[in-house]
Structure 1
């Protein structure tokens, strides 16, 4: 049986692959602690500009507009090319689970992985730029299944890091072996929470080097 990422809900991922959600996970706690890093004034000025757009348009933008006018400008300021890791967008990922007679596949919105032309060893996922009022799928379920698929293919079984976005709210996720944890929402329309989002994204180089 082949099943697309977009059809998965988080409970189905838990039941199919034996995952357990926990409220505390050391890898997520360490990542959240990176939000204590200071944001310089130049970055704050830039963030203020795109934040104003978000405040005005959060409930009106479609997914493409949200990506173009907020997500992409924000990511363009992040240090996401790390050694032989780089960002990829809209890439297909698939994985086979013979013991379950199951294959999963789908497109990843944004991933940091090894590789020059094709992503190998995916490590960080940014997934599902959903509008606030129009949510047809389960963004956590889709993020989790993409992480499970990547873990199946990866040679090195390290924790995987991800984030899903619903309108103004960002949720950070870590999958470590059979457990995963989800942060509280970070509201990008609030200054201190937007700075936390930026600090956590900026921490990815250090996190990747730690595990690789």
Structure 2
């Protein structure tokens, strides 16, 4: 079976019998939740927003990741005692006598030296005007693999990024739903940061229910 990067959302829906939903309670709970921002966090995201605004059309993919996305994620800090962030690691899962696999840009999972139980994915990091493939399809098929790997009936959370635009997605059972775009060059960056911080609380709740 082809790698994550080759999938379209139509193929994912048909192959795994997924249902796109306009509303999903688990997504609404995530997006509606608010996390308080410390003064130093507010200063940092304001600085990152200005930098992105100045260079959003100039940076290549590596510059976008290194100068904006990774500093933002580092400020959230997805590296805790019970879970870690992993960058460009491979995930592989046998499904229906075949294997789906691929290298994932960024994800959060239990495990210290290697990922064990994935909870949250950020995928793509593509430049908006140069995006290739189907970022939603590539993210969802990755989440399907994680869902099969976890085998616990819990939601899998994700996000894909296209330059300044962030889209948040939840897969629960056979249903999935995604947010509208959040623009990181606008005040939306505060919501993006808050949503990412809230994910840490969600992950801890998922971990507690596993114990």
Q: TM-score normalized by structure 1?
A: 0.94
Residue 146, structure 1, aligned to residue 142, structure 2: yes
The corresponding residue for 1:206 is 201
Which whole-Å CA distance do the structure 2 matches of 1:141 and 1:154 have between them?
20
List gaps (5 residues or longer) in structure 2. none
Paired residue secondary structure (1:133): helix
Which whole-Å CA distance do the structure 2 matches of 1:145 and 1:25 have between them?
18
Which whole-Å CA distance do the structure 2 matches of 1:154 and 1:37 have between them?
27
CA deviation after TM superposition for structure 1 residue 203, in Å: 0.8
The two structures, once aligned, show a CA RMSD in angstroms of: 1.2
The corresponding residue for 2:17 is 18
Paired residue secondary structure (2:117): strand
User: What aligned pairs does 1:160-171 form with structure 2 within 5 A after superposition?
Assistant: 160-171=156-167
Which whole-Å CA distance do the structure 2 matches of 1:32 and 1:132 have between them?
23
CA deviation after TM superposition for structure 1 residue 210, in Å: 2.0
2:4–2:141 Cα contact (<8 Å) kept: yes
Which whole-Å CA distance do the structure 2 matches of 1:103 and 1:172 have between them?
26
CA deviation after TM superposition for structure 1 residue 57, in Å: 1.2
CA deviation after TM superposition for structure 1 residue 60, in Å: 1.8
The corresponding residue for 2:125 is 129
CA deviation after TM superposition for structure 1 residue 96, in Å: 1.2
CA deviations 1:107-142 (Å, max 9, x no partner) are 011110011111011010011001011011111111
CA deviation after TM superposition for structure 1 residue 81, in Å: 2.7
CA deviations 1:123-164 (Å, max 9, x no partner) are 100110010110111111110010001111114231000000
Q: TM-score normalized by structure 2?
A: 0.94
The list of structure 1 runs, each at least 4 consecutive aligned residues, that deviate by more than 4 angstroms after superposition, is none
Which whole-Å CA distance do the structure 1 matches of 2:81 and 2:199 have between them?
12
Match for residue 80 of structure 1 among 78, 91, 101: 78
Paired residue secondary structure (2:157): strand
Q: How many residues align?
A: 207
2:35–2:197 Cα contact (<8 Å) kept: no
CA deviations 1:44-64 (Å, max 9, x no partner) are 111111111111111221111
Which whole-Å CA distance do the structure 1 matches of 2:80 and 2:63 have between them?
28
